[in-house]
Structure 1
């Protein structure tokens, strides 16, 4: 009987990405192995997302060079899903020893060669687990398979929970992006192809699309091409912030929910319009006068009370009086807190 501690760890892994990343070493300790991979496999795009590997620094090498010839993926996925298998029974050890995958990848990582694994097909994804032992330790026996089998129902529930939570999060995000006032949001692939857009591009926005080969493509001006490449490079994609006049273009790495392929999430924000909406919402919420509303717009735009007075042609004492009234209505005591309150409005 396995301890309840590993059951608790598996349960936590279904709810928290951090716990999933820590699950591999815990499973390895319970099953007496030197290495563990927990993978989400999408054969269509040739991507493998590794929640934990025995050498995380080698993940990119594995994805780029050995995914197609990994004996576990090539043979293991043809076996019965949801059941532990010692791959030694199905894959000759020589297929490891004589292959490029073993020579270039596994031999560098302490001679791992014996493999035991299982996989599940859940919510359009395949989740694969594989455990490795060094050649000198010896193969997995029936007792090891039985221990692994006893964990599989809990692991299946954890993966299913993870998949459904991700689906719900993606659905909620897209609903929010479709609301009126949501910033222009675009999903683009690494070839600059338009995958999804939440509403038509404003005429004056600094992002444009063209049609090429029957597909809409993102124009790559203003540094957008380089930002998309950085976000979709795989592994640890990088975020970028571009500024074009009153527009801010945020580019972040994401994964397509069905396929997990790398995409760029592009948010095109009209910062002037957002600031105006924040001031308007604050005026309604706090019952501001027109003069106080104009002062809010200046403060949110980075102007000082003196700057505001000079531009408005009013006495600084009048502006300070408006600021004092404004702080009282917002329940704050400092000018910086006024700006913080304004910035927290929905926009």
Structure 2
């Protein structure tokens, strides 16, 4: 069984099989490996032989909150590898009066639990447990001894996978460092695990980016919201089926003509992982805005042009004909003429020469 858990740690695939073996060895209904965050979040919860709706209800009903769940409260308070069964921390009065026990565990037929804390790291507590049905009854001394004997081996396996996941962030960072690129490697919660030297140069009091409690943030309010949304979407894409989450965020500092373009990309993951493997990659590049780009941006801001109208107006000002613009943009000439007419109206002019003069003032 120790080999089964260690194999699971190395390939990230066999956790359910190993947990099923643990449940069988202790005469229990289900085996569980759970991660608990400081904010009552449940980053992962691997359970065998359980209705999937149980896991959804567990998270939704505050199962990760020690103020609500007495089992979580006991586990996070106990020393690492101290094995507890519910009679160790639940009195007869607790059994009668505890709302979580009566409203959640009893309806799901998991009235008895034996648990231990395996690891505490980065505000995450990783716990091991077996859940027992009414038919299983409370765990016996012999079964508890089996659980106690196996728990240190499971802890070694957990630490092995955590080490591999953390190493992944460092290796990825070094790969981008060799390319002299701006790159941030984030975990499933969007926290930066590693960054290249080029990325470090952008983080600071006067830089366009900041680190706040490990989270990558942009300096401006709107930029910060856009970046946070992109990172959250990429991280969430790991858990929710769908197309790979990738997006581009352009940060435009007020004092600099350069724009920082950030590509936020979702990274592939293992079937079963903890919270430390790289999940999101943020790659940046500095972009020097050209005179044409600056003029288009100003035309949009000053005269309320759309991006298409601004591009047409600036190209006309640069001496291109509607036919040439249509060829470049692969649209009909009539479309270009209509956009030009709207742009001139918004700029308050009637002739193209007046439009050129108006844009030159920008």
Equivalent residues, number: 257
User: CA offset at residue 121 of structure 1?
Assistant: 3.2
Q: Distance in 1 between matches of 2:185 and 2:171?
A: 16
Counterpart contact for 1:37–1:52, Cα < 8 Å: yes
Look at both structures and tell me which one has the larger radius of gyration over its CA atoms: 2
Give me the TM-score of the superposition, normalised by structure 1. 0.57
Q: What does 1:161-310 correspond to in 2, within 5 Å?
A: 161-182=160-181, 184-185=183-184, 187=186, 198=196, 199-200=198-199, 209=208, 217-218=217-218, 219=222, 226-233=229-236, 236-237=239-240, 239-242=244-247, 249-252=263-266, 264-268=280-284
Counterpart contact for 2:32–2:46, Cα < 8 Å: yes
- Aligned residue for 2:348? none
Counterpart contact for 2:185–2:193, Cα < 8 Å: yes
Give me the TM-score of the superposition, normalised by structure 2. 0.55
Q: 1:240 to 1:248 in 2, by over 3 A?
A: farther
Structure 1 stretch displaced more, 88-97 or 208-217: 208-217
- RMSD of aligned residue pairs (Cα, Å): 4.5
Q: Distance in 2 between matches of 1:254 and 1:97?
A: 46
- Aligned residue for 1:63? 59
Q: Is the partner of 1:112 in helix, strand or coil?
A: coil
Q: Distance in 2 between matches of 1:106 and 1:86?
A: 15
Q: Is the partner of 1:32 in helix, strand or coil?
A: coil
Counterpart contact for 2:265–2:281, Cα < 8 Å: yes
Q: 1:94 to 1:233 in 2, by over 3 A?
A: farther
Q: Distance in 2 between matches of 1:103 and 1:157?
A: 35
Structure 1 stretch displaced more, 95-104 or 74-83: 95-104
- Aligned residue for 2:111? 113
Does 2:150 correspond to 1:151? yes
Q: Distance in 2 between matches of 1:260 and 1:195?
A: 8
Q: Distance in 2 between matches of 1:213 and 1:15?
A: 32
Q: Distance in 2 between matches of 1:210 and 1:123?
A: 26
Q: Distance in 1 between matches of 2:73 and 2:179?
A: 47
Counterpart contact for 1:184–1:268, Cα < 8 Å: yes
Structure 1 stretch displaced more, 116-125 or 172-181: 116-125
Counterpart contact for 1:31–1:148, Cα < 8 Å: yes
Structure 1 gaps, min length 5: 1-5, 271-347
Structure 2 gaps, min length 5: 251-260, 287-362
Query: CA offsets, 1:145-183, max 9 Å, x none?
Result: 111122123222212222222222222222223233446
- Aligned residue for 1:142? 141
Query: CA offsets, 1:297-342, max 9 Å, x none?
Result: xxxxxxxxxxxxxxxxxxxxxxxxxxxxxxxxxxxxxxxxxxxxxx
Counterpart contact for 2:184–2:283, Cα < 8 Å: yes
